[in-house]
A and B are shown apart, each in its own frame.
Chain A
Amino acid sequence: MNDWIRKDFFRFASFVFILAGILAFSGPVQGAEKVLKIGAPLPLTGPLSPEGQKQVQGYDLWAETANKAGGVKVGSERYKVEIVYNDYQSNTPRAVQLAEKLITEDKVNFLFSPFGSGATKAASGVSEKYGMPTIAATASSEEVYNQGYKFLFGTFTPNPTLTEPLSDIVKAKVPQVKKVAILARNDLFPLAIAQCADVSAKKRGFNVVFFEKYAIGTMDHASALTQIRAAQPEWIFATGYINDLILIRKQMGDLKITAPVVTMIAGPAYKEFTDAAGPLAENVSSASWWHPAVRYKGIDVFGSTENYNKIFQEKYKFIPDYAQASASSVGAIFQIAIEKAGSLDRKKVRDTLAELNVTTFWGDVKFGPTGQIISLKPPVFQIQKGTQVVIYPTEIAQAQFQIGVK
């Protein structure tokens, strides 16, 4: 009997000894590896997954760059960045549930918004309920920000900041434009931008002769385009996502529709559009919140737009677009706010974000009273000889606006 007790005691003692050993070795490592967790509910599968993947690329690049530089400095300590991804399968109600799960179960320190204005608006109530500072990388509609919430911030300026300079350029440089046709995807952002285009055009005395919406998942635009052809507009403005706009541009070619100006938002900002549309992409104009040709020197972890482009291309072997850059910028902005606040306290970080007035690789960052950025000047660009060139703002313009889309 005693023998058994002795044996058990010996086993127990060995177990404690080994455990103590493991803890002793892991102890200092754990101490050095304080982790800053940021939740990212994203559409990693389903129809919005191409957009979701772009966000992942942007967030990952920031996390990697910040960690390489020693992590995020909070007071005297350094925190390693960890992004907790949750896939909401392009299903907005699920995005809201996952935002709550990330806060309550995964105990993330801060949150990135889901993709796009619709899901961001839906999930913003959760952030507000838990007092969780949240930055949206891809929400531009003012309806998202004017809910009176205090914890939501966003890096996209309101939609008219895209359509106003475009209309100014057309008015100034293409005098033959009198009639405008607008074809919009019936979806929150594409429709909102089309409505802004309508307002901007009418404000400058253009006659909007055609304004129609098409349903999500439309496989054919021939009827709408035939009507546009009959209306003979000088400016065709189409909104949608890459697949819609590639198809619309292809069918415009099929119907031999030409116009002095063709503007498409948001496809041409992506390289995939130029690749897929081929010669048809020539002279298509567009606008977005950022372009790799902009040049800013920032206090963020990337330092400058040039450096951002460089490390992005080293990692992914292609040029970033505004979606990836915005995702990286929201991480970099959180980092600046946390380091300035010197704390992970949600309220302190929120207050620092609200007062922030800095320059980053993304541009000047100052949030307005609603939380939406007010300091950014979105560039207008055009596809010329197969590449995107910046037309506006003039200080970074790479080329003159070209008239005529065939």
Chain B
Amino acid sequence: MLAAVLSRRRSLSEHISMLYLQVLLNGLVLGGLYACIAAGFSLVWGVLNVINILHGTFIVIGSYAAYFAYVYFDIHPLVSIPIAAVILFFIGYALQSGVINKVVAAPVLTTLTLTFGLDLFLNNLLIVAFKADYRKVTLENPLGVLSLSGITVPIDRLAAMALALLLTGLLFWVLDASRVGRAIVAVRMDREAAALMGVKVKKIYALTFAIGAVMAGAAGSLMSLIYPISPLNSGIFLGKAFIICVLGGLGSVPGVMVGGLALGVVESFGALAFGPEHAVTLSFIILILFLLFRPTGIMGKRGFQ
């Protein structure tokens, strides 16, 4: 009798710890996805001091590139990441050098309004071109899930986490080790001094913005495996990117990763504790708390170094 009760208790506690472990893993892989979404946004905000409202739409364009590459040319979204990245590089470079550079020295509100306007234009252009219908890349051979004694982790989300790590790592290396990267950091630290040292500031701005767009495109390509694709998703991506940057700290490469993971885990456990309807509310409450008490975020510092 006692043995039966004990064994039932043990199985119940195992059951509960499995639940928590699964929720933790859900949160971590969601966090990887979030980091992926926010990486380019953080770079542009940290270096150019431009809050790029276009970022969500860039991700959506990346998703469309992957979708059409898959549907028409049978190219796997993981393979089409560079294609999406190249397309976004040109879009980003053209927008920054042709439009945003004209007002880049103006207060942050001016560039914010400009990118907001550009986003309205570009997003509606996408609706006209592709309609607002939801599409999705449905692989003939899905990537599947890793499963170990009842705990499952979807491989596409693991890939997103790996991509986020790769992108942030690559960015860290570019900024740290390459001439262009040092020029980007120099411009961020002191624009006038960098110009006096012979750095072509406007070109560096355009390049930075384009790198941000590349990261959005790469993320978008991967998102096409996970989320339904529609221009209407851009606002949701942007909202998450915003929270992650504040949480992780602007101008910090690892901050994006930390912010993304923190948000993923908090939302995941938040949904378990307070119900899924409050998960989104919770992330915005955290945003407000951070803005009030720790505006630099978990790992924030000025400048992208």
Query: Which A residues form the contact surface with B (CB < 8 A)?
Result: 45-47, 49-50, 53, 183, 186, 212-215, 217-224, 226-227, 230, 242-243, 246-247, 250-251, 253-256, 272, 275-279
Contact = CB atoms under 8 A, between A and B. Distances in A.
B134 A276 contact: yes
A254 B276 contact: no
A223 B26 CA distance: 7
B124 A254 contact: no
A224 B277 CA distance: 10
Given A256-B152, A272-B133, A219 B240 contact: yes
Interface string B108-139: 00000000000000001001000111111010
B152 A227 contact: no
A interface secondary structure, majority: helix
A247 B264 CA distance: 17
Contact of A243 (B22, B27, B226, B230): B230
Contacts of A230: 15, 19
A186 B278 CA distance: 10
A13 to B, nearest CB: 49
A218 B227 CA distance: 11
B177 interface: no
Given A45-B127, A220-B30, A278-B138, A254 B145 contact: yes
25 contacts: A46-B232, A49-B232, A50-B134, A186-B277, A212-B277, A213-B276, A213-B277, A215-B279, A217-B280, A219-B240, A222-B26, A223-B23, A224-B271, A224-B276, A226-B19, A226-B22, A227-B19, A227-B272, A242-B228, A272-B134, A275-B138, A276-B135, A276-B136, A276-B228, A278-B138
Contact of A277 (B15, B138, B276): B138
Contact of A53 (B132, B145, B226, B268): B132
A230 B154 CA distance: 18
Contact of B232 (A47, A183, A218, A279): A47
A346 B23 CA distance: 58
- Most chain A CB inside 10 Å of its own CB: which residue of B131, B132, B264: B132
Contacts of A251: 154
A220 B267 contact: yes
Nearest to B272: A223
Nearest to A90: B232
* Closest CB pairs A-B (n = 3): A278-B138, A223-B271, A222-B26
B275 interface: yes
B284 to A, nearest CB: 10
Contact of B30 (A183, A222, A275): A222
A214 B132 contact: no
Nearest to B154: A254
Given A213-B276, A213-B277, A50 B133 contact: yes
A381 to B, nearest CB: 20
A213 B275 CA distance: 7
A213 B227 CA distance: 20
B149 interface: no
Interface string B271-302: 11001111111000000000000000000000
A189 to B, nearest CB: 16
Contacts of A272: 133-135
Contact of A218 (B131, B134, B276): B276
B1 interface: no
A229 to B, nearest CB: 8
Nearest to A221: B276
A226 B276 contact: no
B276 A214 contact: yes
B70 to A, nearest CB: 12
A50 B131 contact: yes
B236 interface: yes
